[in-house]
Amino acid sequence: MNICIFEDNTHLRESLQLLIDVTPSFTCTAAFPNCNNLIEKLEKIDCDICLMDIEMPGISGIEATKLIKGHFPKIHVLIQTVFSDDDSIFKAICAGASGYILKSSTPADYIEALRDAQTGGAPMTPSIARRVLQLFKNRLEPPDHEDYNLTEKEKSVLLQLTLGKSYKMIAGELLVSVETVKTHMKNIYTKLHVNSSTEAVAKAIQESLVRTSN
């Protein structure tokens, strides 16, 4: 298993390199203090996994991860950092990182994480995993999901509206007259405290009052 290190701290970089090289079946094929010309560098060496620091001079680990996943999707990127704030984690995941470990990890943890990454796992410090779950949950279910007391009919009218239908089309869809649709719309407006269809649609989608495709 060929590993490539990006880490600006010389001491840590050399320690990691040593750790990897003394571990059976692991080889450190390269180690760099920054991400300058990283695509060119990677083209020249064998690499299965990149051990990537986030905070580096020049190109950040996040940017580097995006570049790597863009050019070599098969390479796993394992983020290692002292930061564990939501924003860093979030960005790392979006950039395509395979895992996220803290520098406080033991050498054994590092090795296990690298092995996990290779075998299709996503190594994470348990506290990071919890953060990811929390982030995930928050993004999925908007906090205060007010109900606005919409009736079933009103919800279905609203749904049709988010699909871009006109009153006339909605009427056809729900087998009622356009006038009825208008009445429902009036009620929706007062309940949602809006006064245009666009605002209603925006509110409906953002507060997921209607089930969207995904």
Residue 50: strand, helix, or coil: strand
Direct distance between the N- and C-terminal alpha carbons of the chain, in angstroms, rounded to an integer = 38
- How many residues bind DNA (CB under 7 A)? The answer is 23
Q: Does 72 bind DNA (CB under 7 A)?
A: no
Nearest to a copy of itself of 11, 164 (CB atom): 164
Only one of the segments 9-17, 46-54, 102-110, 176-184 lies at the binding site for DNA (rule: CB under 7 A); that segment is 176-184
Q: Which does 121 bind (CB under 5 to 8 A by kind): a copy of itself, DNA, none?
A: a copy of itself
CA distance 171 to 178: 5
CA distance 50 to 70: 14
DSSP for 141-195, please give it. Answer: S-TT---TT--HHHHHHHHHHHTT--HHHHHHHHTS-HHHHHHHHHHHHHHHT--
71-110 residues in contact with a copy of itself (CB under 8 A) are 93-94, 96-99
105-164 residues in contact with a copy of itself (CB under 8 A) are 116, 119-127, 129-130, 132-133, 135-137, 139-142, 161-164
Q: Which does 104 bind (CB under 5 to 8 A by kind): a copy of itself, DNA, none?
A: none
